[in-house]
Structure 1
Amino acid sequence: MTLHIRDPEADRLVRMRAERKGIALTDALKLAVGNPLRRDAETFSLRERIRLIQERIASYPPSGLEADKAVYDEISGDA
């Protein structure tokens, strides 16, 4: 499969990246496109991040301790 870059600016940028890195044009193009794609895949929405945190907390074993009003009062400074 071939990719023909007709945009002179895009061609210039890929060639500049290849020259600076000392790599082939194909490798420079893969780096230029691959890195942002990987970052995009690693980016989670707020909802997804919260879900991951909730799942991690839910995976903790129960402590066996029971929290009552005295515990909450102590935490909040109302003791």
Structure 2
Amino acid sequence: MILHVRDAETDALVRELARRRGISITDAVREAVEEALSREEAPSSLWDRTADIRERIASYPSTGETADKVFYDTLWEE
């Protein structure tokens, strides 16, 4: 089966992906399409996509400080 790409920019992008991953052009196309299809099939919410960031922030120890109006006013020297 032949897949002919007639766009120079697309060809360059596929070749760059293959080079970075150390794989063949065919594998680069397959992986890119598989990744795109998986994103289409299982759209996740912003909440789900930021879970790792929220976990990292939650792991920091509490300072006991409160980010209230007084705190923000001190940042603006008011």
TM-score class, shorter-chain normalisation, is 0.5 to 0.7
How far did 1:43 drift?
2.2
Shift of 1:34: 1.1
- Whole-angstrom CA distance in 2 between matches of 1:23 and 1:4: 19
What is the percentage of aligned positions where both structures have the same residue?
Answer: 48
SS in structure 1 at match of 2:5: coil
TM-score with structure 2 length normalisation?
Answer: 0.53
Length-normalised TM-score, structure 1: 0.52
Q: Distance in 1 between matches of 2:14 and 2:7?
A: 11
2:33 match: 33
Query: Gaps spanning 5+ residues in structure 1: where?
Result: 45-79
How many residue pairs were aligned?
A: 44
Moved over 6 A (4+): none
Q: Superposition RMSD on alpha carbons, in Å?
A: 1.3
